[in-house]
Structure 1
Amino acid sequence: MAASSWEAMNFILYSAVNDSLTRQAVGRPQYDYAFILQAYRQVLECFGRVHIVASFAEVDPLARRLSQERQESVFLSFAAPQDTPTDLICPSVCVVAWEFDSIPSRQERGDPQQDWSRILGIHGRVITLSNHAARAIRKALGEDFPVLILPVPLWQNFAISPKSVQPVPINPGSTIDITGCILDTRVLGLCVDDLLPPLPTDEELARIEALKPPPLTPYRRFIIAKHYLHAWVWDIVRGPSLPESGHRIQYLNQWYWEGVQDLLPDFLRSWLARYLPGVAGPLPVPVAPVLELADLSQGAETRVDGVVYVSVLDTQDGRSNWPRLISAFCWAFRDTSDATLVLRITQTDLAAYYVEVLTVLRQLSPFACRVVVLHGELNESQSERLYQAASFYVNASHREGLCLPLMEFMARGTPALAPDHTAMEDYIDETVAFVVNSSAEPAFWPEDIRTLYRTRQYRPDWGSLKNAFQQSYRMSKENPQAYEVMSGAAIARMHVYCSVISWQSRLLAFLGQPVTGELKTASAVNMADNALC
């Protein structure tokens, strides 16, 4: 895009999740991209016009109209490259959040859209959120391929304001609340024995024995056949006696399964199941009873104190590594009553993880520490109380394309426990976090239906994570001055890493537009940092 004298730069933005669906999209694959778009939008509006489109079909008509008005435009796709078209007239750039050390660079199932190197090559440039993603792209497309590393500008939204409460190493006591429900190990009464069914009493064993049917002798088989065939004929003569489609064929089904099925050879059973499914088809699988869960439309609250660790995760996201995070915490503080782990679960369906989380907690019990699970929606004031309650933020993931929650808490001055791999290598080190050791392991791309191990992720060391919990706890208790230093370093790191001071010159130069001037004055810097445009 050559420099011109045209009046304004127009940014056309697209994400599969729009404003109205962002809250409902928490936990979905495109969830992160929706929030990345919103953060970019606030900054792009400072030095251009922003247009949000609901579909790719709207891009070219909008670009043509702007061109007729002598205005240039560029399309920024906040979606995975395979979901972004390559035939648009409007210049297109993918904004990529990527956590693996390589990108898909070949066609899969005859679909050229699965080849990221082809798509990005057609676009001619790409914006990434981390150095890790940039290296993965350049590995496939060459070191000279135009890549702009542009972290999400969260500083203006999450930096400490004069009204914010500075994080403290030991929480004296604060209330956290949510619209949904709270699972608290202090009130659940967890016991590992609950994982096993209770042993039946002698009376129950006798009752079970009495309910067992007698052996299938030839005479009993004759009685079964006589009973069900008689009922079948009687149903034909007098009309259906059972409701709707359950009549008639059900008698033959019961006769087959109770009286003769075990006498037939395998090939005949298979033949009958295929050609007479109503009689010899598979028996229905019993449906598990529906869990009786809390009313998620109501508010719930609890009070936390001591050293409070917070983590935001999706239990169905394979990156999160949440069972090992919980187990490391519970073993680190097995005999420590004033350590609390608050898990903010973004998964929308409580039933999808309720049993699994309780199973993990029961396996680890008994423990003196406390685990609190928050499920539901947080409004702005509720989120603020969660930020203020945290002493540390914890990440134990296998890989990250960015990790927005970690950055948000660090911008508020909350030190972290986290590995320094993938995107986190850009902003995690010993000055702002207790670094969790990790090692590379084979992995596959989520888009690969064959699950071939063609890339790598990282395995956080469980012992290192446990030690990080214990070291951070000791620092909170014994060296609050060191905590204050680490908290201040976290704020400074996020100010440098995700502020917007250098955005204008870097982005417009990357897009080939003339730079109108750096944001140099104090007032301009303040405006950029707070995105008050």
Structure 2
Amino acid sequence: MLIIIHSETNQHTIAQNLGRSEYSYYFVLKEYRPVLERLGRVVEVADPLTEVDALYEECRASGEPCVFLSFSPPHRTPVHLMCPTLPVFAWEFSTIPNEPFAGEPRNDWRTVLQACGAAITHSSYTVNAVREAMDSDYPIVAVPAPVWDRFAARGAPLQGQPPNGPVRLKIKGLVADSRKLDLNAFAPRPLRTGKGLDFHAPVREQELLLDGVVYTSVFNPGDGRKNWEDMLSAFCVTFREVEDATLVLKLTHHDAEEALSDILHHLYKNQSYRCRIVLIYGYLADADYERLVQATRYVVNTSYGEGQCLPLMEFMSCGKPAVAPRTTAMIDYLSADNAFLIDSTDELTAWPHDPRKAFRTLRYVTNWTSLCTAYRASYAVAKDDPQRYAQMAAQAVSSLQDFCSQAVAEQRLQVFLGQLFERRFASDPEMRGA
């Protein structure tokens, strides 16, 4: 079997695309690739419109099954190729786009899904949304990015154990520490005093020391779904008098000033507090990323919805319990056994790529008081109940193994692709017996 893969962002463009629309599809492709290579030959293409069908014709001539996996949302997936094409996409809203807009017929995802005849996504929540728009037996499978094996191996020596003393990280980039900043430099302009940050200074390596009860969140601050404002304000209020509570925000973006400015203003607005807030904008080598995981007691998510949430999956695979809402894709792997769950309510919103901003779907809004309660309860467990913390850590590893291990991904893809070829090629004499 030949499996052709493509993402609009690739290894050559990822640096400048961080934080831009659909950049995370490249990371999903990278995680899928080792599993796909167990199932067949894998070829990554740069230009699907010129490369895919040529490869498909070679396969037809030799009687080899061939499929093109387009790691992209349906409205960016080609539908006129001869090669069987499957979009591999994430989605975190209650409905899929079911009407055309902006002069693009593919914005009605039903058109694309019907033309492709099948699709791959990452959660049961999205499977249900697709089948509600198509029909109850539309061929779609949930295969999360299989991150568990890599991160469970990293976390095994640390599982359930607090770090012994401070953890040191080396960071090539900017670090903004609430205890070292003059926060008045980030006040509204008429009130601004003091020295801020030089966002355009040459990148240099610096050391960061983390200790105490550390909460970590990794996200793109330009992604309006992440709701970091609630995460930050609730933390500052809950731990206003708690010196050993630290919130680390590891920011993924292509522009330092754009990534940091608004968050720094919120650090100013939420004063005063004795807890610590650390913003990291820059590159972490694998060893330092592992040390950040080691220093972390809880991974935090307060988003309006997730297609799968790779950072949450990675930290939990390492044995770090979560503070997060059990909504959208997170329904598949969060529970009261591995997380401090945050209540949420739904509200009307628009599909993110709809320029009309028409209310056509739902997102899930964090209950701020419930978030504060989850922070307090998780802190108490970290400080006073090591047995429960260890149990939650073990449950996080186990739950994520069931959700996003390579073994789970391989089994689901093997069955799904096998059924696809059986349906599509059973009547094709050139493909029989391949």
Same fold? TM cut 0.5: yes
1:340 has 2:246 as partner: yes
Tell me what 1:60 maps to. 53
Check 1:13–1:514 CA distance in 2 against 1; reply closer, same or farther (3 A cut): closer
User: Structure 1 CA distance, aligned partners of 2:198 and 2:418?
Assistant: 58
Select which of 49, 70, 90 maps to 2:83: 90
Tell me what 1:26 maps to. 18
1:44 has 2:40 as partner: no
Find the residue that maps to 1:172 and give its secondary structure: coil
Question: What TM-score do you get using the length of structure 1 for normalisation?
Answer: 0.75
Deviations 1:253-307 (A, max 9, x none): xxxxxxxxxxxxxxxxxxxxxxxxxxxxxxxxxxxxx973363521122111110
Between 502-511 and 299-308, report the one with greater CA deviation: 502-511
Check 1:125–1:365 CA distance in 2 against 1; reply closer, same or farther (3 A cut): same
CA contact (8 A) 1:190 1:366 kept: no
User: Structure 2 CA distance, aligned partners of 1:510 and 1:198?
Assistant: 60
Deviations 1:136-162 (A, max 9, x none): 101110111111111211112211358
Select which of 7, 31, 38 maps to 1:15: 7
Tell me what 1:160 maps to. 153
CA contact (8 A) 2:156 2:318 kept: no
User: Structure 2 CA distance, aligned partners of 1:361 and 1:505?
Assistant: 46
* 1:416 positional shift: 0.4
Tell me what 1:425 maps to. 331
The residue identity in structure 1 corresponding to 2:78 is P
Q: What is the correspondence of 1:93-492 to structure 2 with a 5 Å cutoff?
A: 93-161=86-154, 164-169=157-162, 172-191=165-184, 194-195=187-188, 197=190, 292-293=198-199, 295-492=201-398
Between 358-367 and 24-33, report the one with greater CA deviation: 24-33
Find the residue that maps to 1:335 and give its secondary structure: coil
User: Structure 2 CA distance, aligned partners of 1:482 and 1:117?
Assistant: 46
* 1:385 positional shift: 1.2
Tell me what 2:427 maps to. none
The residue identity in structure 1 corresponding to 2:12 is S
Between 158-167 and 435-444, report the one with greater CA deviation: 158-167
Find the residue that maps to 2:69 and give its secondary structure: strand
* 1:387 positional shift: 1.1
Deviations 1:110-153 (A, max 9, x none): 42111100110111111110011111101110111111111211
User: Structure 2 CA distance, aligned partners of 1:127 and 1:67?
Assistant: 23
Tell me what 1:280 maps to. none
CA contact (8 A) 1:75 1:90 kept: yes
Between 363-372 and 28-37, report the one with greater CA deviation: 28-37
CA contact (8 A) 1:179 1:377 kept: yes
Tell me what 1:230 maps to. none
Structure 2 gap segments, 5+ residues each: 422-434
CA contact (8 A) 2:171 2:208 kept: no
Count of equivalent residues: 418
The residue identity in structure 1 corresponding to 2:168 is T
Check 1:194–1:142 CA distance in 2 against 1; reply closer, same or farther (3 A cut): closer
Which of 1 and 2 has greater Rg?
A: 1
CA contact (8 A) 1:107 1:115 kept: yes
CA contact (8 A) 2:155 2:317 kept: no
User: Structure 1 CA distance, aligned partners of 2:40 and 2:94?
Assistant: 34
1:507 has 2:413 as partner: yes
CA contact (8 A) 1:181 1:296 kept: no
The residue identity in structure 1 corresponding to 2:373 is N
Structure 1 gap segments, 5+ residues each: 1-8, 200-289, 516-533
* 1:170 positional shift: 6.4
Check 1:354–1:308 CA distance in 2 against 1; reply closer, same or farther (3 A cut): same
* 1:355 positional shift: 2.9
RMSD, aligned α-carbons: 2.2
CA contact (8 A) 1:171 1:391 kept: no
The residue identity in structure 2 corresponding to 1:103 is I
Tell me what 1:272 maps to. none
* 1:511 positional shift: 2.3
CA contact (8 A) 2:251 2:259 kept: no
Find the residue that maps to 1:93 and give its secondary structure: strand
